[in-house]
Amino acid sequence: MPLNKAALKDQYDVIVIGSGIGGLTTASLLAARGKDVLVLEQHYLPGGSAQTFPYKQYRFDVGPKLFFGMDASRGNMRYHQQVFDELDEYPDLSHYESYYSFKHPGGCLQVAGSVEEYIAQLVAAFPQEEDGIRRFYATLEDLHAMFVAFPNLPLDRPDAILKTVLGVSPDRLLKLGFWGYISFGSLFDDYIRSRELRAILNAEMVAFCYSDIDEVPAVLGALVLIERHKGGGTFTKGGSGALARLLVRGLEKHGGQIQYRASTRRILVERGRACGVELADGRTIAAEYVVSNAGVVNTFGRAGTNVEPLVERHWLRPQTRAKVDRVKLTDSFFTIFAGVDAQVFPPGTDAHMLYIDRYYQSVQDMRLICFCNSSFKDPTLAPPGKHALQIVYFDPECCKFDSWQRDEQYAQRKQATFERAMCMAEEVFPGITDSLDYVTCGTPLTYADYLAHWGGGWGVRMSIDQFAFHRFQHKTDVQNLFLVGADTHPGIGVVSVTMSGINCAYHIAQPRTSR
């Protein structure tokens, strides 16, 4: 268990609230650039949603297991690599061939190999759509290539925007802008008629972005569908929490500090400028800059909720208050963490499997189950003959945060939801329920409590109207207070919050090479 190694000082250059991947990326980069940085984390482990926690003889990943661009020598995305190079810290990676398999009522697709190989699978499954599938994928590849070639710079700095505009051909800029405003669903409909294939892509968008195919911008859908083939399956040994631990190492190596079980109660503001924080125990610490990785609702509050905002709302402009009050958040989910007998999984089973029992056209009624076995990729996460299984279960009956209360029905509802999820799991792996040991379940309230994140979901939804310039950026109405993480541009996912972390750090101190 990580320990607090040093006493807190009275003052730092930068305080980062929260040790999610976005917060840690900003903190470690700023430490490497010579700033005196303190990270305050309310939990006892780093990583937020991307932490790995020990339970009995197992280690479980709370959230992400499917990474993009973790290994730049295989993939196109280089954002993680940029951070590793600057910190001079590199992850120990394991590679696996199949990204995941997708079981649907008509068969099973294996997301593996090159784009061409996957197209061949799709064509075999949907032969009448061959021409459309090929043309659809050609457009996706084009969009993916454009995005990856695009510089990752903050959208709320005129100098960065100018640099971007000057560095990219007007044709590309217009194309990317256009596809940022067109839904992935309508791009699909231009080429393909199959409702079954549409439902499969819809479920994949939910699994990656928690948004409907008709909400997700086309450019984002293209990134998800292409990058997994370019980068291949790459996983940090030791669980997804190994990435957080790497960033903490980078932070500490450059003189930064992280304090666990240190909940921030308030961001201190004087004359419109952030000047420090107050901890839950009443201590105050001064800082020139404050960065919040706590999410927009927890940072700014939201009308109609019981959230105590970190910043007193009178510091916010009315339009910012209105924006947080009406921002659309993702729903939450139900998760099951359990040890499981390895023999439940037939030979050839992938580490990850997505399953739908019907071709759902909308997230509003979709039941989707994701089986995640990190111990397939790193056997040290489970004892011999066992696997550390996480089931992430999306179901409108249990994913609405507001519908859960810690009342006398809570335990009963949790048990009923567990049984409903396992009933669906049995359709894929018969006998799985009987082979579980040490089961622990997370409801939307569990996620909200452990991650100090109101809503218990993935944050601001990745919809066209909340994308790019419409999303929250880093600068806030309070001078020297910045936001970082999944609620900011570009959005949800480990690689996205890494991009956000790089851009947030850019506001405070730039790397020598980009001065």
Ligand X SMILES: Cc1cc2nc3c(=O)[nH]c(=O)nc-3n(C[C@H](O)[C@H](O)[C@H](O)COP(=O)(O)OP(=O)(O)OC[C@H]3O[C@@H](n4cnc5c(N)ncnc54)[C@H](O)[C@@H]3O)c2cc1C
Which residues sit at the interface with ligand X, rule CB under 6 A?
A: 17-23, 40-43, 48-50, 63-66, 263-264, 293-294, 298, 392, 451-453, 458, 485-486, 492-495, 497
Instruction: Provide the minimum distance between the beta carbon of 317 and ligand X in the complex, in angstroms, as a whole number.
Output: 23
**Toward ligand X, which CB reaches closer, 137 or 394?**
394
Furthest-apart CA atoms within the chain: distance in Å:
68
Instruction: Provide the minimum distance between the beta carbon of 335 and ligand X in the complex, in angstroms, as a whole number.
Output: 6
**Toward ligand X, which CB reaches closer, 263 or 440?**
263
Are 157 and 506 contacting, i.e. CB atoms less than 8 angstroms apart?
A: yes
Are 45 and 68 contacting, i.e. CB atoms less than 8 angstroms apart?
A: no
Torsion angle (degrees, nearest 10) of CA 49, 51, 53, 59? 110
- Closest by CA to 221, choosing from 233, 195, 203, is 203
**Toward ligand X, which CB reaches closer, 339 or 455?**
455
Beta bridge partners of 261: none
**Toward ligand X, which CB reaches closer, 351 or 486?**
486
CA distances from 393 to 219, 410, 490 (A): 26, 18, 25
Instruction: Provide the minimum distance between the beta carbon of 407 and ligand X in the complex, in angstroms, as a whole number.
Output: 24
Are 481 and 276 contacting, i.e. CB atoms less than 8 angstroms apart?
A: no
Length of the chain: 515
Give the separation between CA 268 and CA 434, rounded to whole angstroms: 52
**Toward ligand X, which CB reaches closer, 42 or 375?**
42
Give the separation between CA 348 and CA 353, rounded to whole angstroms: 12
H/E run at residue 501: helix 494-508
Instruction: Provide the minimum distance between the beta carbon of 208 and ligand X in the complex, in angstroms, as a whole number.
Output: 7
Residue whose structure tokens are 């499969």: 200
**Toward ligand X, which CB reaches closer, 136 or 454?**
454
Instruction: Provide the minimum distance between the beta carbon of 22 and ligand X in the complex, in angstroms, as a whole number.
Output: 3
Question: CB neighbours of 79 closer than 8 A, spacing ≥ 6?
Answer: 69, 152, 495, 498, 499, 502
**Toward ligand X, which CB reaches closer, 132 or 241?**
241
**Toward ligand X, which CB reaches closer, 194 or 417?**
417
- Residue nearest to ligand X as judged by C-beta position: 20
Instruction: Provide the minimum distance between the beta carbon of 67 and ligand X in the complex, in angstroms, as a whole number.
Output: 6
How many CA within 13 A on the CB side of residue 438?
A: 19
Q: Exposed (0-12), middle (13-18) or buried (19+): which is 432, by Cβ within 10 Å?
A: buried
**Toward ligand X, which CB reaches closer, 125 or 224?**
224
For the record, the structure tokens of 438 come out as: 């040490």
Chain center to CA of 104: 25
State the DSSP code for 217: B
Neighbours of 56 (CB within 10 A): 14
**Toward ligand X, which CB reaches closer, 185 or 442?**
442
Q: Exposed (0-12), middle (13-18) or buried (19+): which is 434, by Cβ within 10 Å?
A: exposed
Helices 195-209, 184-191: inter-axial angle, 10-degree rounding: 160
Instruction: Provide the minimum distance between the beta carbon of 383 and ligand X in the complex, in angstroms, as a whole number.
Output: 23
**Toward ligand X, which CB reaches closer, 43 or 507?**
43
Instruction: Provide the minimum distance between the beta carbon of 501 and ligand X in the complex, in angstroms, as a whole number.
Output: 7
State the DSSP code for 317: -
Residue whose structure tokens are 């370019």: 230
Q: Among positive and negative, which fits the CA dihedral 272, 276, 280, 282? A: negative
For the record, the structure tokens of 215 come out as: 């909400």
Instruction: Provide the minimum distance between the beta carbon of 469 and ligand X in the complex, in angstroms, as a whole number.
Output: 19
Instruction: Provide the minimum distance between the beta carbon of 318 and ligand X in the complex, in angstroms, as a whole number.
Output: 25
Are 315 and 273 contacting, i.e. CB atoms less than 8 angstroms apart?
A: no
Instruction: Provide the minimum distance between the beta carbon of 370 and ligand X in the complex, in angstroms, as a whole number.
Output: 8
**Toward ligand X, which CB reaches closer, 125 or 369?**
369
Instruction: Provide the minimum distance between the beta carbon of 21 and ligand X in the complex, in angstroms, as a whole number.
Output: 5
